[in-house]
Amino acid sequence: MRTNKNKKPKVLWFQAVTCNGNTHSFLSANDNRMKLFLDSFDLIYHPSLSVGISLKEIIKSKIEIDFLLVEGAITSNERFFSISGETTSLLLNQLVSKSKYLIAVGSCASYGGLHAKFEQNEDIKGIQDSLDVDNLYSLKHPTINLTGCPVHPEWIFQTLFTLKDYKKMALDDEGRPKELYYGLAHHGCTRNEYFEWKVESKTFGVKEGCLFYDQGCRGPMTHSNCNKILWNDVNSKTRVGMPCIGCTELDFPRDNMFETKKNIGIPDQVPIGINKRAYLSLTGIAKTFKIDRLHKKLID
């Protein structure tokens, strides 16, 4: 059956102040999912993929954008001029005035991310804080923040397909889709049994032990489904022995990310929703058990 390309919702990917990490992540999507996306949407512009048309031509044209995806932080500082010689703030607002839905792809677009943290004098923000007054109320839906450094390609696809079919998504207090960010990176981690019995890993890159107490793992405080929707369909940070660095939370990037801050041996932060006293009691009890199996190498 022939499809009418013009009927497909139009998607435009705008890059602002960015390292391209979300583009790399997007391009590593599962082949079948990418094909489904390209069959269902009309990707009218992506700076790394498009030829023959420029962003300026689209802005000047009558083209209407259904879904505006933004990668990178926004600034009106001329030090960060785009290729066309305009600020990312101006370009963002010109694009938003032609768009129905606005989606931040990544932590930098959501709230400024590491650019906002490390270039504090440069007026760098996320997209919502960069909208002109006229654009604040012109969109069909509140701005959606897909936090993450980078964002999983599947989070982008699920957001686009949900909005295409249902027109709206429930968002949490940070503007993130609840269905993607309701759980924690801790959920589905293959090391949960080690966490439960307080058997800690002393180093990165091994299969055994939990990475919470000694390696700075933020899985129990980080809203993401990294251990449920796996990366490249096979893996996650914690599965390969690398602590979760909490990249979907607004305090990312934190200082000393591979360290669990403690006070007289007690972690400053305990898993979300658990009272510190209860956590300490449970930890004390768990440590009285010594389960031999959990202290052995999984593979000799």
Note whether 210 binds ligand SF4 by CB under 6 A.
yes
Q: How many other CB atoms are there within 10 angstroms of residue 195's CB atom?
A: 21
Least distance (Å) between residue 4 CB and ligand SF4: 46
Interatomic CA distance for residues 61 and 98, integer angstroms: 10
Between 136 and 206, name the residue whose CB sits nearer to ligand SF4: 206
Note whether 212 binds ligand SF4 by CB under 6 A.
yes
Of 44-52, 207-215, 279-287, 289-297, which segment contacts ligand SF4 by CB under 6 A?
Answer: 207-215
**Exposed e or buried b per residue across 45-82, where buried means at least 16 C-beta atoms within 10 angstroms of its C-beta:** bbbeeeeeeebeebbeeeeebbbbbbbbbbbbbeebeb
Note whether 189 binds ligand SF4 by CB under 6 A.
yes
Least distance (Å) between residue 85 CB and ligand SF4: 45
Note whether 217 binds ligand SF4 by CB under 6 A.
yes
Residue labelled with tokens 């933004």 = 70
Site string for ligand SF4, 144-173 (x = CB under 6 A): ------------------------------
Count of residues touching ligand SF4 (by CB under 6 A): 14
Interatomic CA distance for residues 111 and 88, integer angstroms: 15
Note whether 247 binds ligand SF4 by CB under 6 A.
no
Strand partners, 102: 68
Interatomic CA distance for residues 47 and 69, integer angstroms: 12
Least distance (Å) between residue 286 CB and ligand SF4: 13
Interior CA angle at 204 toward 201 and 206, to 5°?
Answer: 70
Chain residues that interact with ligand SF4, rule: CB under 6 A: 185-186, 189, 191-192, 195, 210-212, 217, 219-220, 238, 244
